Amino acid sequence: MLFLARTLLVAVLGALMTAPVLQAEEWSPAITIGTQEVGLTVGYLLPHRLTEDHVTKQQGPALMPSWMMTLTDPIGPGWLRGQISIGAEMVYLQFREPILTHGIGFAPRIKYTFVVLDRLRPYLEFAGGPFWTDLGGQIPEEANEFNFVVTGGVGVSWFITSHVAFNAGYRFHHISNAGTQYPNLGLNASLPFGGFSFYF
């Protein structure tokens, strides 16, 4: 994780150093149909035990590289005005509790970004897809290693330049095997996150 954090920092500093020098009033994010977004997000899972049968305290770091494309120009009235993007992300989790295990998955993703505040852009997002973890079968909530991951959350993007944004937010994170094998109580967690997006 330290190596990834250093790599992310170097990439952001490089983008800032090569970005055109512009006065504050001279630019705003120009996200149009077809604009692509490459992002790198890191976070930390914090467990939720929703019932008495949920006993595992799974927690650990998360890494989520992503790609998205903007599908619409701004739509909607007033404060609801925003843009729709779709794409996909890889999900890597390292569970440090109750034992050191790993998980990796692929999740199609959709995002609605509110544009009324110009450079400060709140968004809603949802993603879900297949997920494999060797934690499955070793805890009472999950019987097998093949599962699905579903996340939904809110975030905000602050555009540092017209092509680089800092992101921060929160996701609710759910892992289960969709009833393909029992037990299947599922694992639930909060996932606060931060990261950067690059637009081109």
**Per-residue pLDDT tens listing for the chain (200 residues):** 544 445 444 444 454 444 444 444 578 898 999 999 999 999 999 988 777 777 777 899 999 999 999 999 999 999 999 999 999 999 999 998 888 999 999 999 999 999 999 999 999 999 999 999 998 788 887 888 999 999 999 999 999 999 999 999 999 999 999 888 888 888 899 999 999 999 99
Residue 153: domain span: 35-199
Indicate the pTM of the whole model.
0.83
Token representation of residue 14: 């490089």
Of 157, 158, 186, nearest to 172 (Cα)?
186
Q: Is the backbone peptide bond immediately before 98 cis, with ω within 30 degrees of 0?
A: yes
Which CATH number fits the domain that encloses residue 150?
2.40.160.20
Instruction: Name the burial class of residue 104, with classes exposed (0-12), middle (13-18) and buried (19+) by CB atoms within 10 angstroms of its CB.
Output: middle
Task: Give me the number of domains the chain comprises.
Answer: 1
The answer as to whether 133 is a domain residue is yes
Can you give the pLDDT at residue 58? 82
- Taking phi over 0 as left and psi of -120 to 50 as alpha, with beta for the rest, 192 belongs to beta
With respect to residue 152, please indicate whether it lies within any of the assigned structural domains: yes
CA 80 from centroid of its chain's CA atoms = 22
Residue 15 belongs to some domain of the structure: no
The rounded Cα 191 to chain-centroid distance in angstroms is 9
In a domain, 24, yes or no: no
Question: Which helix H or strand E contains 68, and what residues bound it?
Answer: strand 60-70
Is position 112 within any domain?
A: yes
Say if residue 116 is exposed, middle or buried (CB neighbours under 10 Å; 0-12, 13-18, 19+).
middle
The answer as to whether 6 is a domain residue is no
Residue 165 lies in a domain: yes
* Within-domain flag for 20: no
